[in-house]
Amino acid sequence: MERTTTPQTATQMFTSLRKAGPDTEELSKAAEIFELTLVLLKERAGRRHKRFLGESEILTVEELELVANLSGCPPPTACPAESRSSKYRSISGLCNNRNNPHWGAANSALARWLPAEYEDAGSQPKGWNTGQLYTGYQLPPVREISNKIIQSSSKHFLEDDAYSQMLVDWGQYIDHDISFTPQSTSRAAYLEGLDCLKTCENVSPCFPIEIPPRDKLAGSRSCLPFFRSSPACLNGMTHIRRDGLTQPPQRQQMNVATSFIDASTVYGHNENVQNALRNLSSSEGLLAVNTKFSEDGGRSYLPFVPTIPSACLQDPTAREADRVECFTAGDSRVNEIVPLSALHTLWVREHNRIAKTLKRLNPHWSSEITYQETRKIIGALHQIITMRDYIPKIIGEQAFDQHIGPYEGYNDSVNPSVSNVFATAAFRFGHATISAKLQRLNESFQEHELYPSLNLHQTFFSPWRLVREGGLDPVLRGLLGQPAPMVTQEHLMSVELTERLVLLNVSGAFDLAALNLQRGRDHGLPGYTEWRAFCGLPRVETRAELSEVVSNEHLVEKIMDVYGHLNNTDVWLGGLVEDLLPGARTGPLFACLIGKQMKKLRDGDRFWWENPGVFSPRQRQELQRHSLSRVICDNSGVTEVPLDPFRTATYPDDFHLCDNIPSLNLEAWKDDLNQDNPCGFPIEMMNGDAVYCYKSDKLIVWDFLLLWLYINRLFLLLRIDTG
């Protein structure tokens, strides 16, 4: 009741709707208890010995593991023996790599490609301690960087002549498939009890963003609230061995999602979420859909969250009985922005469309087999669309060949876990490409007569705009028919994101640029020059060297003026301002980091669609024919699409009728019942579970219930015979 009558602040809305699930919260609490215990032990030991002591000086590795276990961190996972169910990836990503079960799994630590740079070497963010110097200078406040560098360049907006708005929104969608860093579960400082929404002190987990005097966001505030990312549990806290040396444990951050491109946005990353999203009463392996609303033509919407009333905004003209609650999906961020909700909805519809067809082709399949086979196809399509159609446009064909190259098979020595620098900096390049408006277009790809375009902040946490304002079609046409914003050194980010992020008609707003910079410091990311060296690029430490990679001299001057020394440059800012590579939407540093990550996601995934044995040759051929354009055709009222939905298209010249767009022939998944088949999964029978085997022309059915009764009867007779 309070939620429906009391306006929530932007911070409360942003936090509540990005909340991780109960399993993640338990792990986060355990990791926070573990880290706080280490802090208290170090303080106590330091007072006793009258000097600073690291963890390795007061605790052995075995004692660290004991503290972790007592804190609630789970022990390492052992993979079960291979079984027939192993043909499908686990929902959590566990045991994808059977030698290293946690690689790429949900709720494991983000990978570190370079050690973290914390001010106390263990956990304190960069910029935590007042007066701390870096190469002779204090780090500039992140809001100052946003004001002087990001926003000063945001006046000259250009449209991308090559790529559509769909490229931007697919980037956000696929980012949510592979990474989600949760914020601290605590809302107040651990020991002092300060409320992080009200304090401007650096007291973990509070790391507030300083607001300069007379700043537009100031009002009565001198800071923006900021919660540190939750630490990862034991697998991110143990000693890191590099070059034979043992380093003290450093705070690592958690990835809630599976690192794999596996459509966890559709299916979730744990059993509870997966089961909640399924229609378990269906014999066709379907996903659950909304039971209150549907589009014209019967096309479904996502189901609502189970707890209502929910936190999402409402149509001010609608009756209380007609509330549109928050959608639920495999990722809790589904409601952040309307295009994201539309893409989530599209893939749930595609799952159900494919599942129904597979069940019709294979009526002997159980609901579980139909669901898993469909999930496998949807995951493969996410991989193909991302790696074939999206990534080459982002990093350029040359960088793709250099950093990714052709597929050479699964490599179990490759760790596919998403890296900290990728999730926290490199893949956030896309924030600069977000448009200030959401275009909604009619069937002629002109401004919609009933549903005009919206300012970006009007689309935050507003699923009602899909249900009440024309469904998916106007939004999808806008993504296909509108050019993306062109990232230039004169236009780095829209003021909708630096001044009005999650503005909810109440006081208070976020600055996305400042948030990105503060998050990188929270995670202890090394600076821009260190990452260039990691990628084999020349270091950039002088004005002349920066001018070679940033051609805008005015921007070079501002960076030098704000940072003092280029070694201090935050990696997100440095990568963002580099000159773009030919045919790319990133510069050399981000192209390197994104390319390296994508190669690891591909080569370290045992279930990658191209890996022999995952799909048959005929099935792989069919998967390659499919496209995001065809998915839109099959699951919306849009009847004309471009062949490549990521390229800028002019209507009607560049659009094709859906009848002319190649489609996926699911006959490739039809079982040939005349072929010899090994025993398969249990199918549903009247007397319990059974397996079926085909031998020549005979169907042999083993009913496990009857078999169990028969064996027990023999056992009893044997006992009687032996006295």
Going from the N-terminus, what domains does the chain have, and what CATH number goes with each?
1-9+129-184+257-314+325-669 (1.10.640.10), 683-721 (no CATH)
pTM of this structure: 0.89
C-alpha span between 270 and 277 (Å, rounded)? 11
The residues near 597 (Cβ < 8 Å, ≥ 6 apart) are 418, 419, 422, 426, 427
Residue 108's SS3 state is strand
User: In the prediction, which pLDDT does 248 show?
Assistant: 60
For the cut 70, the answer to whether the pLDDT of residue 166 exceeds it is yes
User: In the prediction, which pLDDT does 612 show?
Assistant: 96
C-alpha span between 435 and 163 (Å, rounded)? 13
For the cut 70, the answer to whether the pLDDT of residue 626 exceeds it is yes
Q: What is the pLDDT of residues 497-525, one digit of tens each?
A: 777 665 333 345 678 899 999 999 999 99
* Stretch (H or E) spanning 429: none
C-alpha span between 516 and 512 (Å, rounded)? 6
> Token digits for 67?
């503290």
- In this prediction, residues 269-297 reach a mean pLDDT of 96
C-alpha span between 358 and 637 (Å, rounded)? 23
User: In the prediction, which pLDDT does 145 show?
Assistant: 95
431 annotated as belonging to a binding site for a ligand: yes
Q: What is the pLDDT of residues 140-163, one digit of tens each?
A: 999 999 999 998 655 556 889 999
- In this prediction, residues 41-53 reach a mean pLDDT of 75
C-alpha span between 310 and 452 (Å, rounded)? 26
Per the model's pLDDT, the better-predicted residue between 7 and 272 turns out to be 272
Q: What is the pLDDT of residues 388-399, one digit of tens each?
A: 999 999 999 999
For the cut 60, the answer to whether the pLDDT of residue 93 exceeds it is yes
Note whether 526 and 114 are within 8 A (CB).
Answer: yes
pLDDT band at 52 (very low <50, low <70, confident <90, very high): low
User: Worst-scoring range by mean pLDDT, 16-30, 417-431, 594-608?
Assistant: 16-30
- In this prediction, residues 544-549 reach a mean pLDDT of 97
- In this prediction, residues 259-269 reach a mean pLDDT of 98
Note whether 377 and 616 are within 8 A (CB).
Answer: no
pLDDT band at 661 (very low <50, low <70, confident <90, very high): very high
Kindly list the distances between the CA atom of residue 473 and the CA atoms of 20, 430, 481, in Å, as whole numbers in the listed order: 30, 24, 12
For the cut 80, the answer to whether the pLDDT of residue 376 exceeds it is yes
Per the model's pLDDT, the better-predicted residue between 367 and 698 turns out to be 367
pLDDT, averaged across the chain: 87
User: In the prediction, which pLDDT does 7 show?
Assistant: 46
User: In the prediction, which pLDDT does 154 show?
Assistant: 55
Identify the bridge partners of residue 454 per DSSP, sorted by sequence position.
438
Q: What is the pLDDT of residues 186-197, one digit of tens each?
A: 767 766 778 888
User: In the prediction, which pLDDT does 650 show?
Assistant: 95
403 included as an active-site residue: no
User: In the prediction, which pLDDT does 688 show?
Assistant: 42
CA distance from start to end of the chain: 71
The catalytic residue among 49, 102, 156, 176 is 176
For the cut 80, the answer to whether the pLDDT of residue 89 exceeds it is yes
Per the model's pLDDT, the better-predicted residue between 220 and 672 turns out to be 672
Residue 502's Cβ-count burial label (10 Å; 0-12, 13-18, 19+) is buried
User: In the prediction, which pLDDT does 84 show?
Assistant: 57
Q: What is the pLDDT of residues 288-335, one digit of tens each?
A: 999 999 998 899 999 999 999 999 999 999 999 899 999 999 999 999
C-alpha span between 509 and 620 (Å, rounded)? 47
Note whether 164 and 648 are within 8 A (CB).
Answer: yes
For the cut 80, the answer to whether the pLDDT of residue 382 exceeds it is yes
User: In the prediction, which pLDDT does 696 show?
Assistant: 32
User: In the prediction, which pLDDT does 215 show?
Assistant: 86
- Please provide the DSSP assignment of 660-711 as one string: GS----GGGG---TTS-B---S-EEETTEEEEEEEETTEEEEEEHHHHHHHH
